[in-house]
Structure 1
Amino acid sequence: MRKTPPQRILVVMTRRLGDVLLVTPLIRSIKQAWPGADLDVLVIAGTEGFLLGNPDVSQLITVPQRPGWRRHLSLVARLLRRYDLAVAALPSDRAVLYAWLAGRVRIAPLNPVKGQRWKQRLLSAWVPFDNLATHTVRMNLQLTELLGITPVGKVVVSWQADDAASLLRKLPVEWLAMPYAVLHVYPKFTYKMWHAAGWSAVAQWLAGLGMRVVLTGSSAPDEMAYVADVCRQLPASALNMAGQLSLAENACLVRRARLYIGPDTALTHMAAALGVPTVALYGPSNPVKWSPWPKDFAPDANPFRLHGTQQVGNVMLVQGAGRGDGSCVPCFEEGCERDVGSFSDCLQHLTPQKVIAAAQTLLEASPPP
């Protein structure tokens, strides 16, 4: 490993939006260790939203999910040994190859199994990758051990003053003086979805507390249609902002909320990081690996256990109800039909009463200012 501080650093994260958010503690750790270094981040195009405005990042490099050969050649020319240090936060072939191209010193996590020796030869050092029993934030931060720097367990959510101002222009004036809850009803994949009847019951309960409800979502046509359908089943005062807000504007909306409720999705991770009382609805997903990271949680342990509804800090993780004795939850599978477009019984059988009880506990623990 280098004995002199690196001046140019590249972090590679070539997965989804939520993964990009969960690599920000590693980015913060590196930047705090070497504040004078230029730190660039390479991500898949469309996943960079959480890094826009991040003060730790000098430059964002985006690459298409499936780049053509011309784009590959252009990227090679841009990366080739331009960095003193390249950190791949994934064990994937693609991430490791990008790090190898870019860095004079190269580190990554690797699966310690047969067939990975070629990656070991490309790296200066590596740590064993644990995809089951180590939270993603902690897995990323294990790379700090190779660098000899202090891990920082802060998930960084960024926005700019213009984002807050533009959000206020989009909200009805009366919302500025009223408490509200954010409901994020649509995950990217069906197997993480709760049922519309549950969202309706929760919204009715919140309305009974004198709290407004706002729905969030992306501009994807299927998502907007689903959110609109759910909104029609909610109290008339509910506000549908799906497709109307940028990621940074969503952050500004969520950070002002009294409560956030959502499934295993990027916005739920964001709400937890912002310190908002967060109810996270989990079914087949492994909470040890993929739970939201509570605000100010120390990086020396996993926040959540594998089984059961549980609270850590500002996050209440509500686990779905499985078949029979419930021992199938979490199954780590993509729905009961083993397809991302299939439903998960554990979430379809999750009662609104259980979600309301979790929300009430969080609200009582964090009274309004």
Structure 2
Amino acid sequence: ADWVGREWPSERYAGLAATLTNDGPLAGGRVVVLGDEKDKDAGHTIRLAMPRNRTSELPGRLSRVQALAVLERAALYLGGDSVWTQLAVAAGAPVVAAYGPSDDTVRGPWGGVVVRGPRSVDEFRKIDPGLNQAILHMNEVPADRMLKAAKKVLAERS
């Protein structure tokens, strides 16, 4: 994400990845972490939650074209309001995306599943009119709803 208000906590991504690939529907699967240079800390957090031999930590290491090639093979993509989510859609990956202050009817992943917290975009604009304050809006998106959506998407594709 290009702003802290759109970033879902990396610890939650790590928990989802571990749950899905340890004994979940993607048991034994690999986790590939994509992103820009600024996403390296988040990538590191996710990698530390996973077995080393099943995680590729690639923030800042791939071009967008290379990322598309990786995403074309993805069984599932978990992300937020970012260019990486849009690349996953373009690559045809099944997408589950966490959205908070962004209007998913405008910026959402076409054909993907959006998981929102309890607030509407209008409610976010009341507390953060310019949508630019250093408020962790995404903390309101529950991990259990992301997990439920991911499992549903995977079940529908099998």
> For this structure pair, what is the TM-score category when the shorter chain's length is used for normalisation?
0.7 to 0.9
Report whether the alignment pairs 1:243 with 2:40.
Answer: no
Task: Give the structure 2 partner of residue 363 of structure 1.
Answer: 154
Return the structure number with greater strand share.
Answer: 1
Match of 1:351 among 142, 145, 149: 142
Kindly provide the amino acid, as one letter, of the partner of residue 99 in structure 2.
Y
Aligned length: 152
2:43–2:57 contact (8 Å) kept in structure 1:
yes
Match of 1:217 among 29, 35, 43: 35
Kindly provide the amino acid, as one letter, of the partner of residue 191 in structure 1.
G
Return the structure number with greater helix share.
Answer: 2
Task: Give the structure 2 partner of residue 277 of structure 1.
Answer: 94
Aligned CA distance change for structure 1 residues 276 and 334 (closer, same or farther; 3 Å): farther
Report 1:46-195 matches (<5 A).
187-195=1-9
Kindly provide the amino acid, as one letter, of the partner of residue 223 in structure 1.
D
Partner SS, residue 342 of structure 1: coil
1:262–1:279 contact (8 Å) kept in structure 2:
yes
Aligned CA distance change for structure 1 residues 259 and 280 (closer, same or farther; 3 Å): same
Q: Identical aligned pairs, as a percentage?
A: 24
Task: Give the structure 2 partner of residue 228 of structure 1.
Answer: 44
Aligned CA distance change for structure 1 residues 334 and 217 (closer, same or farther; 3 Å): farther
Report 1:197-346 matches (<5 A).
197-207=11-21, 208=23, 209-218=27-36, 220=37, 222-236=38-52, 237-294=54-111, 315-322=112-119, 329-331=120-122, 333=125, 336=128, 338=130, 340=132, 342-345=134-137
Aligned CA distance change for structure 1 residues 334 and 256 (closer, same or farther; 3 Å): farther
Kindly provide the amino acid, as one letter, of the partner of residue 114 in structure 2.
L
Aligned CA distance change for structure 1 residues 336 and 189 (closer, same or farther; 3 Å): same
Partner SS, residue 45 of structure 2: helix
**CA shift at 1:275, angstroms?**
2.2
Give the Cα separation in 2 of the matches to 1:235 and 1:349.
28
**Structure 2: tracts of 5 or more residues without a match:** none
Give the Cα separation in 2 of the matches to 1:336 and 1:287.
17
**CA shift at 1:235, angstroms?**
3.8
Superposition RMSD on alpha carbons, in Å?
A: 2.3
TM-score, structure 2 normalization = 0.83
Aligned CA distance change for structure 1 residues 335 and 278 (closer, same or farther; 3 Å): farther
Aligned CA distance change for structure 1 residues 321 and 238 (closer, same or farther; 3 Å): farther
Give the Cα separation in 2 of the matches to 1:195 and 1:334.
23
**CA shift at 1:343, angstroms?**
3.0
**Structure 1: tracts of 5 or more residues without a match:** 1-186, 295-314, 323-328
1:192–1:263 contact (8 Å) kept in structure 2:
yes
TM-score, structure 1 normalization = 0.38
Q: Which has the higher contact order (CA 8 A, sep 6+)?
A: 2
**CA shift at 1:333, angstroms?**
3.7
1:224–1:242 contact (8 Å) kept in structure 2:
yes
Give the Cα separation in 2 of the matches to 1:270 and 1:334.
31
**CA shift at 1:201, angstroms?**
1.4
Partner SS, residue 257 of structure 1: coil
| Deviation per residue, 1:158-187 (Å, 9 max, x gap) | xxxxxxxxxxxxxxxxxxxxxxxxxxxxx1
Larger Rg: 1 or 2? Answer: 1
Aligned CA distance change for structure 1 residues 364 and 334 (closer, same or farther; 3 Å): farther
2:96–2:113 contact (8 Å) kept in structure 1:
yes
Kindly provide the amino acid, as one letter, of the partner of residue 62 in structure 2.
L
